A and B are shown apart, each in its own frame.
Chain A
Amino acid sequence: MIPSTVPRPPAHVRRTQLFVGALAVAAVVLFVLALLTINWPTWARVQSGLTRNVAPLLNGLVRPDLKTFPLAWRSMWETFHMAVLGTLLGAVLAFPLSFLAAGNLLGGRPFAMPGKALLVGVRTFPEILLAIIFVAAAGPGPTAGIMAMGLHSIGFLGKIFSDVIEGIDAGPTEAIRAAGGGPIQVFLYAVVPQVLPEFASNVLYRFEINLRAAAVLGLVGAGGIGLPLLQRLQFRRWDEVSMLLLVIIAFVVTVDLISSRIRRRLV
């Protein structure tokens, strides 16, 4: 076998290879550049942090403080309830908005534009930033967190809802119109049954996301398990941190399992 007999790839294949190769090189160069220019802490600083904390952390992780359990359990339930209300708030408000934003129902494209713009605007800010603002406006506590999550979820759910609505089958709509149904009948008997399972599934998905978000909103004083956790982190009470973490993980994993099971049956 003489290697020189190997045919060369055609030009367009080589161009693609070259392009992908260049991208890969650029990605690596960027990575190295970032590594070189990042403001790293001194090694001594990291080392002292590690030596002071790693052993106690591991110690705490294997021996979670049982006395912290009631607090952890209570705060996690509050977190859960915050996520429930935040998600519901978002879903209830996103529902009408999504019909406005969908291009195929109420009057068509030109009417959909403001709706879409509103949805994009509303999910522009991360919920933690919204939470800071709500804490400043309405005082600390779960209410601020719930409103932050609610507002943020409107954007997320509204976008998906309106995509679902735009994707519905026109057949049933026309069938009901042909049978003399008015817009209310069309809405109730053709649109809602088609979109409801998708809506419910996405609300559940958003709930999974919100539960995680709710667990950190306390870091800015917006209720839930985040605040007790942050305090114990700052005082390096690793055994108590460990208990709080365990409860968070167990709770989130359980909710994920149940939620994804329901979602699978919905769609």
Chain B
Amino acid sequence: MPEPTPLGTPAPRAAGAPRPPLVARLRSYLGLGVVAALAVVAYQSTNFDLASLFTGAADFFSFFGRLAPDWSALRIIWRPLIETMQIAYVGTVLGTSIALPLIFLASANTALDPISMLVARVVLTILRSIPDLLWAALFVTLLAPGALPGIVALTFFTVGVLAKLGSETVESADPGPLEALRAAGAGRNRTIVYAVWPQVAATMTSFILYSFEINVRASVILGFVGAGGIGQLLYTRLNFFDYSGVGAIVAVTFVVVLAVDAVSVWARSKLI
């Protein structure tokens, strides 16, 4: 379903830059060389079949032709679709409430002490490196199939997504008010509540909405590994070659996800 719009457009580069010196140019040629070499190695090791790019693409589009939706499937769609949204929402809320304290622990300007800061950073880095579906597959095996592993998976996933964005924001907060509060005898909690939180609240809320958007899209596919939601239905329909059913599911899901996305993007634009 639609990719959330990236956060913030990169700033344009300074205009009319003079031609870079020789060393810089050599370095960029070196970079190109490395990329080319990587591509060749990758091409060989994966036996990538460039020709099938065209035959595959042709199949791909003919496949779409068979997706003409069968709207009678609507009857069985709505329940798992609601479950999908529930998984995304509950996962986002739980993930956020775990992520927030961790973010303040992991940011240099709000950390308790160097050791817990390091621990928090390591934990967050590890969480961040594991993709959503992997979490889901893990918890399906560990707990039981259904919505529960989906929620737990998205909770962990959310912590990973929010952590990096969040602690970068917290660390870039204006240090002036923090110092003022420290000078007034405020402890860590009071400094966070009065000096840091007001500075980062809008950005942080926008990040939470952003991870909700990501989670909604993730929750659609969690069912592929048995973690509840519309994905489970989609997967069985696909396995039964019921392409018109698949068409209906994809179409409805697409519309719902787009709608959630649109609302969230609009809310984010209001925030900053």
Chains A and B touch each other in the complex, with CB atoms below 8 Å apart: yes
Partner-B contacts on A (CB < 8 A): 27, 30-31, 34-35, 37-41, 45-46, 49-50, 53-54, 57, 77-78, 80-82, 84-85, 88, 120, 123-126, 128-129, 132-134, 136-138, 141-144, 146-147, 152, 155-156, 159-160, 163-164, 167-169, 171-172, 175, 193-195, 197-198, 200-202, 212-213, 215-216, 219-220, 223, 226, 229-230, 233-234, 236, 241, 245, 248-249, 252-253, 256, 267
* B2 A123 Cβ-Cβ under 8 A: yes
Binding site for A on B (CB under 8 A): 1-3, 5-6, 9-17, 31, 35, 38-39, 41-43, 45-49, 52-53, 55-57, 59-60, 63, 83, 86-87, 89-90, 93, 125-126, 128-134, 137-138, 141-148, 151, 217-218, 220-221, 224-225, 228, 234, 238, 250, 254
User: What is the distance, in angstroms, from A58's C-beta to the closest C-beta of chain B?
Assistant: 11
Kindly list chain B residues whose C-beta atoms are within 8 Å of the C-beta of A144. Answer: 56
Q: Please determine whether B9 and A138 come into contact, CB atoms closer than 8 angstroms.
A: no
Could you tell me if A147 and B56 are in contact, using CB atoms closer than 8 angstroms? yes
**Shortest beta-carbon distance, B81 to chain A, in Å?**
13
Q: Contact partner of B10 among A54, A202, A248, CB < 8 A?
A: A202
Residue of A nearest to B6 (CB): A160
Evaluate whether A216 and B38 lie within 8 angstroms (CB atoms) in the complex, with A163-B9, A172-B16, A201-B10 already known: no
Contact A230 B130 (CB under 8 A): no
In angstroms, Cα B261 to Cα A123, docked, is 14
Q: Could you name 24 residue pairs across A and B whose Cβ atoms are closer than 8 Å?
A: A30-B89, A31-B89, A31-B90, A31-B93, A38-B83, A39-B228, A81-B41, A84-B39, A88-B35, A126-B220, A126-B221, A137-B56, A137-B60, A142-B48, A143-B47, A147-B52, A168-B13, A169-B12, A171-B15, A198-B13, A212-B130, A216-B131, A219-B225, A233-B138
Contact A256 B129 (CB under 8 A): yes
A198 to B12 Cα, complex, angstroms: 8
Is the CB–CB distance between B63 and A38 below 8 Å?
no
Which one of A78, A125, A155, A202 has the greatest number of beta carbons of chain B within 10 Å? A125
Interface SS, A side: helix
- Asked if B143 and A128 make an inter-chain contact with CB atoms under 8 angstroms apart, the answer reads no
- Chain A contacts of B17 at CB under 8 A? 193-194
Q: Provide the residues of chain B in CB contact with A123, threshold 8 Å.
A: 2-3
B141 and A53 contact, CB distance less than 8 A: yes
Shortest Cβ gap from A231 to chain B (Å): 11
Assess whether A126 is in contact with B217, with CB atoms less than 8 Å apart: yes
Q: Would A143 and B49 count as touching, CB distance under 8 A?
A: yes
Contact B90 A41 (CB under 8 A): no
A230 CA to B41 CA in the complex, in Å? 26
CA distance in complex: A46, B142 (Å): 8
| A169 pairs with B15, CB closer than 8 A | yes
In the complex, what residues of B have CB within 8 A of residue A146's CB?
46, 48
Residues of A within 8 A of B87 (CB): 38
- Chain B nearest CB: distance from A94 CB in Å? 13
Cα–Cα distance between A167 and B12 once the two chains are bound (Å) = 6
Q: Across the two chains, which residue of chain B brings its CB closest to A28?
A: B93
A213 near B60 (CB under 8 angstroms)?
Answer: no
Q: What 7 pairs between A and B have smallest CB-CB spacing? A: A137-B59, A81-B42, A169-B15, A252-B129, A142-B46, A216-B133, A212-B131
**Neighbouring B residues of A46 by C-beta, 8 Å:** 143-144, 148
Knowing A155-B3, A194-B15, the reply to whether A249 touches B39 (Cβ < 8 A) is: no
Partner of B131, one of A31, A78, A202, A213: A213
Return the chain B residue nearest A85 by Cβ. Answer: B42
- The answer on a CB contact under 8 Å between A219 and B47 is no
Cβ–Cβ contact B221 & A194, under 8 A: no
A34 pairs with B224, CB closer than 8 A: no
Whether B126 lies near A175 (C-beta < 8 A) is: no
A126 vs B84: C-alpha distance when bound (angstroms): 15
Note all chain B residues with C-beta closer than 8 A to A241.
Answer: 138
Q: Give Cα distance in the complex from A54 to B138, angstroms.
A: 11
CB <8 Å contact, A85 and B129: no
Given contacts A40-B147, A40-B148, A78-B46, 4 further A-B contacts (CB under 8 A): A143-B46, A194-B17, A202-B10, A212-B130
Residues of chain A with a CB closer than 8 A to B35's CB? 88
CA distance A123 to B56 in the complex (A): 18
